[in-house]
Structure 1
């Protein structure tokens, strides 16, 4: 184990509070969808995708309407969730945008993940699904705090086939040019299959997740379930294919909803529900260039790869019967960065004190005991700060449409939107509120001066 990581974990061990007895430590489950849009669930307004299990989860728990992620694409978003730190702090950026099949780096070994912190309290930790934080042996999940892993090291389009839609000429050309190795399926540190049948992937993940819960029902556990879907290529099992009015994308989301339902029913059957915190969210907004194979941001503007709301505001549902407020809709600001300090607080673990954190403890927000836990959201594009939200107001200092060949546009006077009144970012009101613009400029300058980007890690490749 990396020396800096050993020292950081030692700090956690030395400073954890008593809080819970070992037998009553709560369990934690994070379910992360891939490229699911803000508007893709029934409880978030989709008219034809049926998500009864997630809708029920929202009724039994809290649905967040203003929940953000740390980045607008996969790898940096996942790094932020697991470490509670903005990706720019640990080099989770680069020209490549995410880790690739030939990447030489991974999540830095001196970073402390939720899994590593929880292991200091005796938690059994597992990841079922997509990692995407380094595929080389020294960076895989079992070297980053997870006792068990079943899944893929990166996205499901990083194998031999880019998408299931081979009728489009642009997809045909792209698929023909792919030089990736076969997509591997890992069990712990071993590749057990290449190019697994993705129509069965959600069912296999669900079975693995249920088994993990059953095997650890008598000890505290942390399960991280980052699904490969609904990232393209889209695959649904025969039980779901062709069943959704929304087409194949809807089939895939509805099967993911079924998977969540199986996990929740397992918790209830084992009488673990009242001692388990579950949160469901997406890693970023919908991949709009995939057309009908991508999702929808609903009333939000833009999607994955942008710093508009559709790129970084995601559907999020929190659940813990008797603990998390039930039948609640929260309009407060919260982020995936906040999961690290919140989970550690509930587990009675203090985060290492040798580094700055960007997440805040939202336990009071989840239980309904407090409001306004955080007031600022930072929107980074790679290592560049593009926008800031403070309260209701969002200022765009630089804008760039997702996956657009045009250069980013810098704004001498930032574009200003009141997101409570205008969540679709249609009406720039900067001329009406110069005082707010000036305040957000100061926040921008403060953030730039305070957070110095670490060297980028996405661009180094094996053999070079």
Structure 2
């Protein structure tokens, strides 16, 4: 009798479960705090997306990437709670070309983001071309609200009647919070740590939308402003019940060496640079905490990376590439290998470390796969969809990727090939091909030890006595002691020698076979390039930003430059000032 009652009750329970399951089929969205399934089996909410893009960080600057004394922080939490890439690359070793590539999924040289200036300056006439499609524009097409806070560095042109022709509000961003059009920390040093005669407001201004807020910005609470603008944008998007895309360009890590938040001064055993890493990471944590308060954590894909390697030339005040050679402005691993962290609870398995070779250019096509969007089909996209790598660790069956990730760890696939071009040349300088790296041109590396041992470079405890950016160019017309051409190229096995200390003998058959396999592919790749004119070359003082003094500490830059020159003509005072600023023997040298 009792057994029959139990059997009847069990059958009733199963029938009720069947009814409930069928009643819930076709729901448009899961609950706000509940992790939806991936891959999607039906209609689903598009995830919120946050890209944290730091500036001048070293591959080895975080505890989770091996730094022995940097304190654990929110970025390390992201790595612990998501997937950490150990072979993640920027497309350039300088800010503007790297950021342009991330935004478009295309090599900087395809976009025209190359030239004599190497980055966009306050007097750059051009910027990221308006005809290029950005991640923000593509996400808007599928229903996203888009916002930007922090560093932009893809052009301004304040003289333009369109009020900042190249600013982010012209590139798909609905909301533009407090932002830095560019970032030159040393020119903004009010406390005179590094500049006896600074600051030079000429390079130190903040924008909100297309309006200058304040200059100089060193005592402006940038961290708090960035966090307040970012979290406010996210809350507004939630009220609209729309998915949001936030591009958060964190300030130059060494930009806060005269620190914008006093609470972080002296907080790191690593010193001032460690303080700045902690402050930058705190902003990341504050934004992620807000995501959790909004109960959006399971529906938010967060990505952390940075634009290029560390500025090792400024001794102990810059970042650390860990085991890797080189840093910002060169194309050794330390200049282009960067942190890459992807976190999405319930979708990307926590605690995964992968050595798959990937690029920041992969972010664009990968996001389009995830949200059901599309990349432009009228141009070459250099990035690849890496969604199969992000989600392959989940227990459920995964869909076939829309494009294969070519990597040495996937038998049967060809090796992944990444090509780098120096911003002042159009010839390839470096190629990664599977496990191997080929250098056609190398730059002299100014290590911290060399800086310290050379009189006048680094003082007590690694304090920079002057900025050292010698040998930062890579065109062949540079001094012989700085730039060396290699034919055949230098070859390294990065699995065995990530420090690029031991070149392989390319005359040996097994090494030559790899070189012979790579070269035809590189030649075909070169043939696919249609190189636009160099957009970073044209500069004109007439486009330099200037504000009317209506905001605190905001004045007209032309008090330093003299009268506003007409387009195409630079005033003598402007030339004299710039000549002084680009003198490598002067401690006010611009980066």
TM-score, normalised by the number of residues in structure 2: 0.71
Shift of 1:100: 0.3
* Structure 1 stretches lacking a partner, 5+ long: 1-18
Deviates more, 1:44-53 or 1:419-428: 44-53
**Structure 2: how far apart are the matches of 1:94 and 1:229?**
22
Structure 2 CA distance for partners of 1:164 and 1:364, relative to 1, 3 Å = farther
The reply to whether residue 352 of structure 1 matches residue 393 of structure 2 is no
**Structure 2: how far apart are the matches of 1:284 and 1:182?**
20
Match for residue 343 of structure 2 among 310, 316, 319 = 319
Query: 2:181·2:207 contact (CA, 8 Å) conserved in 1?
Result: no
Match for residue 57 of structure 2 among 32, 36, 49 = 36
Structure 2 CA distance for partners of 1:373 and 1:324, relative to 1, 3 Å = farther
**Structure 1: how far apart are the matches of 2:386 and 2:196?**
46
Query: 2:153·2:183 contact (CA, 8 Å) conserved in 1?
Result: no
2:417 maps to: 376
Which structure has more relative contact order (CA 8 Å, sep 6+)? It is: 1
**Structure 2: how far apart are the matches of 1:167 and 1:197?**
12
Shift of 1:202: 1.4
The reply to whether residue 461 of structure 1 matches residue 461 of structure 2 is no
1:440 maps to: 518
**Structure 2: how far apart are the matches of 1:445 and 1:430?**
22
Query: 2:147·2:175 contact (CA, 8 Å) conserved in 1?
Result: yes
TM-score, normalised by the number of residues in structure 1: 0.90
Deviations 1:413-448 (A, max 9, x none): 111100001000000013332222222332332222
Deviations 1:297-341 (A, max 9, x none): 000000011111000000111100011121100100111000111
**Structure 2: how far apart are the matches of 1:355 and 1:78?**
19
Shift of 1:22: 8.8
**Structure 2: how far apart are the matches of 1:259 and 1:22?**
33
Q: How many residues align?
A: 440
Match for residue 410 of structure 1 among 485, 488, 492 = 485
The reply to whether residue 203 of structure 1 matches residue 224 of structure 2 is yes
The reply to whether residue 393 of structure 1 matches residue 436 of structure 2 is yes
Query: 2:61·2:321 contact (CA, 8 Å) conserved in 1?
Result: yes
**Structure 1: how far apart are the matches of 2:204 and 2:166?**
17
**Structure 2: how far apart are the matches of 1:157 and 1:351?**
33
Shift of 1:373: 4.2
The reply to whether residue 294 of structure 1 matches residue 323 of structure 2 is no
The reply to whether residue 219 of structure 1 matches residue 242 of structure 2 is yes
**Structure 2: how far apart are the matches of 1:51 and 1:384?**
41
The reply to whether residue 267 of structure 1 matches residue 345 of structure 2 is no
Deviations 1:32-79 (A, max 9, x none): 110010000010011111132222211110011000011110000000
1:306 maps to: 330
Query: 2:153·2:180 contact (CA, 8 Å) conserved in 1?
Result: yes
Query: 1:23·1:220 contact (CA, 8 Å) conserved in 2?
Result: no
Structure 2 CA distance for partners of 1:190 and 1:236, relative to 1, 3 Å = closer
Query: 2:103·2:134 contact (CA, 8 Å) conserved in 1?
Result: yes
